[in-house]
């Protein structure tokens, strides 16, 4: 996915002669709509004209507004949902007919396989000692007899201890904690929020309700299915990318518990580039970009719910 990240205060986005014009105080840049898939606005000091919005939407470019915590607070895109009524009816019925547990199991299985796969790839690079990936793989059969949420939690402990091994010690990362002020946890929070935005779009276009999930508890205003669905992609899209940039020396500046704007832009860029990475997927011999794999997984989920067939989650071949 080719993403235009707008992070500077005072930027104005307009349209002229079929091109998008990005103007700052000192310069203007023309961008062809054919060259981008998304505009990510991460500053509150930017503006966009209605003509630019129309040009972007007619070219299939979605526009996402991100707050300082990485949470998308608005999105503009051309909605082309398919089979919405039948997909959502099946999605709701799954809670009562037993399909919900099978969907949850498939998602958690895919997540654990990707966590183990990332750890194996880090071990090959010499970043991790031991065989923690095997410990996670041995948990997968337990999904047939235990609550997937419980198994997921056991795997998470092993996984994040392994990730801590792969990171420079001066970061102070001791494990996943949403409320921790350390730079890696804050970067995870921000980057996951960008991933949630991508998942939300894919699920809605596939005809599903982003608020009705099977793993995370439904709560008013919480995009439960988005959180469920994103679990399969976190190791491939976010975790891998952040480990690499932190090992290369990225250290976000933090003010008031928030990552400063310029460093948020670096994270947004890292996630966008990660979504462009070409991967191979279990059960699919055709390599594709992660952004394409994400959309395909959403379509498969809707189809599995409608047809009541086993869901094949996203598993990268590491």
* Tens digits of residue pLDDT in 184-239: 999 999 999 999 999 998 999 899 999 999 998 766 668 999 999 999 999 999 99
Max CA distance (Å), the chain: 62
Give dist(CA 64, CA 153) in Å, integer: 31
Across the chain, mean pLDDT equals: 92
d(CA 285, CA 283): 7
Query: For residues 180 and 25, what is the distance between their CA atoms, to the nearest angstrom?
Result: 37
- Residue ranges of the chain assigned to CATH 3.100.10.20: 3-76
Residue 232 CA to its chain's centroid (Å):
9
Its CATH class, for the domain covering 3-76, is alpha beta
Cβ atoms within 10 A of the Cβ of 9, count?
A: 11
- The mean pLDDT of 47-56, rounded to a whole number, is 92
Structure tokens at 192: 């996951």
Q: Is the pLDDT of residue 1 over 80?
A: no
Read off the tokens for 139.
């948990």
Which residues of the chain form CATH 1.20.120.920?
84-307
- Does 118 have pLDDT greater than 90? yes
CA–CA gap between residue 209 and residue 270 (Å, rounded): 28
Q: So what's the pLDDT on residue 221?
A: 66
Fold entry, domain 84-307: 1.20.120
**What is the average pLDDT across 69-79?**
75
* pTM, two decimal places: 0.86
Report pLDDT digits (tens) over 258-301.
999 899 999 999 999 999 999 999 988 899 999 999 999 999 99
Tokens of 152: 């997921």
pLDDT-derived band of residue 42, with 50, 70 and 90 as boundaries?
A: confident
Residue pointed to by tokens 């014009």: 21
CA atoms within 13 Å, Cβ hemisphere of 185: 13
């Amino acid at each position: 996915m080719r993403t235009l990240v707008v992070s500077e205060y005072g930027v104005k986005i307009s349209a002229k002669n079929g091109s998008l014009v990005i103007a700052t105080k000192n310069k203007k840049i023309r961008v062809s709509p054919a060259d981008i898939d998304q505009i990510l606005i991460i500053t509150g000091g930017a503006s966009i004209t209605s003509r630019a919005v129309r040009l972007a939407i007619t070219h299939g470019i979605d526009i996402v507004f991100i707050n300082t915590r990485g949470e998308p607070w608005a999105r503009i895109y051309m909605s082309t949902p398919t089979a919405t009524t039948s997909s959502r009816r099946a999605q709701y019925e799954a809670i009562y007919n037993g399909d919900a547990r099978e969907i949850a199991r498939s998602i958690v299985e895919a997540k654990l396989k990707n966590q183990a796969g990332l750890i194996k790839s880090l071990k090959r690079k010499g970043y991790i000692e031991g065989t923690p990936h095997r410990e996670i793989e041995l948990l997968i059969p337990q999904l047939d007899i235990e609550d997937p949420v419980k198994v997921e939690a056991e795997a998470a402990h092993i996984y994040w201890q392994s990730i801590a091994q792969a990171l420079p010690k001066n970061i102070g990362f001791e494990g996943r904690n949403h409320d921790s002020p350390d730079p890696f946890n804050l970067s995870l929070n921000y980057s996951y929020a960008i991933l949630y935005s991508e998942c939300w779009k894919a699920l809605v276009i596939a005809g599903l309700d982003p608020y009705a999930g099977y793993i995370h508890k439904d709560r008013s205003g919480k995009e439960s299915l988005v959180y469920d669905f994103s679990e399969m992609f976190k190791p491939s899209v976010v975790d891998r990318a952040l480990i690499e940039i932190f090992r290369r020396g990225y250290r976000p500046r933090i003010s008031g518990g928030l990552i400063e704007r310029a460093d948020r832009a670096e994270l947004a860029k890292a996630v966008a580039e990660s979504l462009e990475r070409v991967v191979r997927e279990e059960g699919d011999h055709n390599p594709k970009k992660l952004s394409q794999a994400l959309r395909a997984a959403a379509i498969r989920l809707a189809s599995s719910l409608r047809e009541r067939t086993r869901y094949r989650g996203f598993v990268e071949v590491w």
